[in-house]
Structure 1
Amino acid sequence: MFVKSEAASALFAGPFALATLSAQDEPAFPALVTADGRVLDLRAAFGDGNLTVRDVLVDWDSAAARLKALAEGIDGRETRPLARFRVHAPVEPRQVFQSGANYRQHVIDLHVAHRAPDDDRPEEERRAEAAEIMDRRAAEDLPYVFIGLPSAITGPYDDVVLPAWAAQPDWELELAVVIGRPAYRVTAEEALRHVAGYTIANDLTDRATVFRRDMPQIGTDWLRSKNAPGFTPLGPWIVPAGSVADPGDLRVTLKLNGETMQDESTGDMIFDVARVVSYASQSARLLPGDLVLTGSPAGNGMHWGRLLRDGDVLEGSVTGLGVQRTRCVAEDAS
């Protein structure tokens, strides 16, 4: 799908963002996109015909200054309107780190919903208990992070195929961190220095296959439940970290067929961006272009008793990062 211009407001916060675009019958290319919808091909600007967004991120310290200068001098350069191009996922990461159970209200809701059969305490008491657990977890525990597959990523306006085997496909809109400097065993105080920017991810999940039924003691099966092709719509843009005043104060909103289902501030995170990035880096070496998904707030399909089906349209937005729109298409069982 070719991008449709937003309303008169800017496409994203700040003067520019990074994108991966293509024109009809042409290969995808890395682009600087201005907030008013102009496109500068970075292959020409960087003098590299094979350049990708990930290549730009590899030397983010110098690239960020160079991109800023290009954006400031955009009026003197040849640009094209964004409406001419198809928008792809903004980057092809080598690694995808995903954080679960990271929104306070969401986890409290889960705690209350999954009470023991013999627990007949009033809901208010159980909520107070859950809130105390969340406070203790934030102070004493560690984030919960697992690995996703880059092959699950698709563009922000692409159709999402719901596999025939997925009995309970669900949505999980998230703030996604894009790494710009290698990070290994960095502290939370250092972590944000390794972040190039932010984008939007919808971490689709088949609830029916989250837990193994053949061997319950194994626990969760994230490969099966989260990594079908196209199960992670990403983008549309990478907005530089310098244009995001506070990643802990962004609104995450998902609409299903125009109806708001998720609407929460990233301030509700149990572990903020810096702590999640730091934690992931304690075990793995985070590389430029890698993604760190930070968890999804309350309001997924299981909460509403309404899961995804053929023809559904998802619209996800995060403050200052733009809007992604995807349509769900049932896999042809034949």
Structure 2
Amino acid sequence: MRSEDSPRGWFALGTFEHGGLAFPGLVLEGGRVVDLSRTEVPGASVASFRSVRQILEGWEANRAALAAFARHGAADAHDLADLRVLPPVEPVQILQSGANYHRHVVDLIVAEARAGNPRMTPEEEAEVRRAGERLMDERAERGEPYLFLGSPTALCGPYDDVVLPAEGDQHDWELEFAAVIGRSGRHVPPERALDLVAGYTIANDITTRDLVYRPDLKAIGTDWLRSKNAPTFLPTGPYIVPKEFVGDTSGLRITLRLNGETMQDESASDMIFDVARLVSYASSRVLLRPGDLILTGSPAGNGSYWGRFLGEGDVMEGTVTGLGYQRNRCVRERLPEAAPGRVPDGSAT
């Protein structure tokens, strides 16, 4: 649930379901969850909360009130094991960072060069890698982040099944951590950007690699809508951990195992642009609002690196230091036959 050196009064926020009803929950030490839609928290902005996003909209007052409440505990709480865990927040915007880990980007550069030259020698590959590393160092110094928008309808819970669409074959994992916005902001400099962040959560930004590039529109480039935004393609959670319990995010370890085998295992210190620069850049392009998610990018070790993609029955298990655990089983999409005049909706069995 938390590290042993976390401050007393640790808590997290999430969205949970019990008896068919969803509610915002305060996660306490020991795996207890307080239903904040039915519990009054002294000093909070409202008597009870409808959603986690509402909590974040008054984050400055609510953070202090929830921290005081967590220190005293609560007698009336659910066991976490008895609840279905939903995505922790319903964001208005999801901003996703691409190409933000040194080793990951250099691995992609080498893979593309190898694909164009199957007879590449080890010496040639080493030179390509060195050139890629120089390019990333230059980008970190003088470049800017690469962000794009994702659809909130891609969200699913941290333990839900991931439905692999019928279109495309190269479904790939991208475990990362996300910053959760707790204060509106526009044109915020990097030195003040973390003031906008309420906390952090885990996200697995699944991508269908063979749908990234449009063969009919090569000059346009990447098509993130069709390659990243299928329903369930963004397992998120289990909860939001306030930033004061996380500390320096460069120390976070991001690990993903596929069927028990480690695929990603990287430190966030390999990021090209840190959280402050990502948030600052995002605020220069859009108005950030409470509940928005900023995904910070995937480290090395994706399926495209291993030459192995997701299939039915695969199980992904992901952890990020201090942020919890995900476990998602992959199932194939089943397309039902449409009745006359009816468009089928995708489903899985």
TM-score by length of 2: 0.89
Corresponding residue number in structure 1 for 2:341: none
Corresponding residue number in structure 2 for 1:84: 82
- What does residue range 51-70 of structure 1 map to in structure 2 within 5 Å? 51-70=50-69
Residues 209-236 of structure 1 show CA distances to partners (whole Å, capped at 9, x for unaligned) of 1011101001110000000011100000
- How much has 1:301 moved relative to structure 2? 0.6
| Residue identity opposite 1:33 in structure 2 | V
Aligned match of 1:102 in 100, 103, 117?
100
- What does residue range 36-47 of structure 1 map to in structure 2 within 5 Å? 36-43=30-37, 44-46=39-41
Moved more, 13-22 or 133-142: 13-22
Q: Distance in 2 between matches of 1:150 and 1:13?
A: 31
- What does residue range 180-329 of structure 1 map to in structure 2 within 5 Å? 180-329=182-331
Checking the alignment, whether the CA contact within 8 Å between 1:198 and 1:240 is kept in structure 2 is yes
| Residue identity opposite 2:76 in structure 1 | E
Q: Distance in 2 between matches of 1:194 and 1:12?
A: 25
- How much has 1:48 moved relative to structure 2? 4.7
Q: Distance in 2 between matches of 1:277 and 1:10?
A: 26
Q: Distance in 1 between matches of 2:275 and 2:228?
A: 22
Q: Distance in 1 between matches of 2:212 and 2:47?
A: 43
- How much has 1:49 moved relative to structure 2? 5.4
- How much has 1:35 moved relative to structure 2? 2.7
SS of the residue aligned with 1:181? coil
| Residue identity opposite 2:174 in structure 1 | E
Q: Which segments of 5 or more consecutive residues in structure 2 lack a partner in the other structure?
A: 337-349
Moved over 4 A (4+): 9-14, 46-50, 118-121
Q: Distance in 1 between matches of 2:6 and 2:305?
A: 31
| Residue identity opposite 2:56 in structure 1 | L
Q: Distance in 1 between matches of 2:204 and 2:103?
A: 19
Checking the alignment, whether the CA contact within 8 Å between 2:111 and 2:305 is kept in structure 1 is no
- How much has 1:50 moved relative to structure 2? 5.5
Corresponding residue number in structure 1 for 2:131: 129
- How much has 1:112 moved relative to structure 2? 1.6
Residues 91-137 of structure 1 show CA distances to partners (whole Å, capped at 9, x for unaligned) of 00000000000000011111122225497652222222111111111
Checking the alignment, whether the CA contact within 8 Å between 2:258 and 2:315 is kept in structure 1 is yes
Checking the alignment, whether the CA contact within 8 Å between 1:252 and 1:317 is kept in structure 2 is yes
- How much has 1:333 moved relative to structure 2? 4.1
Identity of aligned residues (%): 54
Checking the alignment, whether the CA contact within 8 Å between 2:49 and 2:55 is kept in structure 1 is no
Residues 129-169 of structure 1 show CA distances to partners (whole Å, capped at 9, x for unaligned) of 11111111100000000000011101111111111113211
SS of the residue aligned with 2:322? coil
Moved more, 125-134 or 153-162: 125-134
| Residue identity opposite 2:211 in structure 1 | T
Checking the alignment, whether the CA contact within 8 Å between 1:159 and 1:327 is kept in structure 2 is yes
Checking the alignment, whether the CA contact within 8 Å between 1:13 and 1:320 is kept in structure 2 is no
Corresponding residue number in structure 2 for 1:169: 171
Q: Distance in 2 between matches of 1:303 and 1:231?
A: 19
How many corresponding residue pairs? 325
Corresponding residue number in structure 1 for 2:16: 21
Q: Distance in 2 between matches of 1:145 and 1:71?
A: 35
Q: Distance in 2 between matches of 1:264 and 1:35?
A: 27
Checking the alignment, whether the CA contact within 8 Å between 1:21 and 1:29 is kept in structure 2 is yes
Q: Distance in 1 between matches of 2:306 and 2:22?
A: 38
Checking the alignment, whether the CA contact within 8 Å between 1:12 and 1:35 is kept in structure 2 is no
Q: Distance in 2 between matches of 1:67 and 1:279?
A: 30
Do the aligned partners of residues 13 and 323 (structure 1) sit closer, same or farther apart at CA in structure 2, a change above 3 Å counting? farther
Q: Distance in 1 between matches of 2:263 and 2:84?
A: 27
- How much has 1:205 moved relative to structure 2? 0.4
| Residue identity opposite 1:193 in structure 2 | D
Q: Distance in 1 between matches of 2:105 and 2:4?
A: 32
Checking the alignment, whether the CA contact within 8 Å between 2:36 and 2:49 is kept in structure 1 is no
SS of the residue aligned with 1:17? strand
Q: Which segments of 5 or more consecutive residues in structure 1 lack a partner in the other structure?
A: 1-5
Q: Distance in 2 between matches of 1:39 and 1:82?
A: 6
Q: Distance in 1 between matches of 2:58 and 2:167?
A: 42
| Residue identity opposite 1:17 in structure 2 | A
- How much has 1:90 moved relative to structure 2? 0.4
| Residue identity opposite 1:204 in structure 2 | I
| Residue identity opposite 1:57 in structure 2 | L
Given the alignment of the two structures, is residue 32 of structure 1 paired with residue 32 of structure 2, yes or no? no
TM-score by length of 1: 0.93
Q: Distance in 2 between matches of 1:112 and 1:52?
A: 45
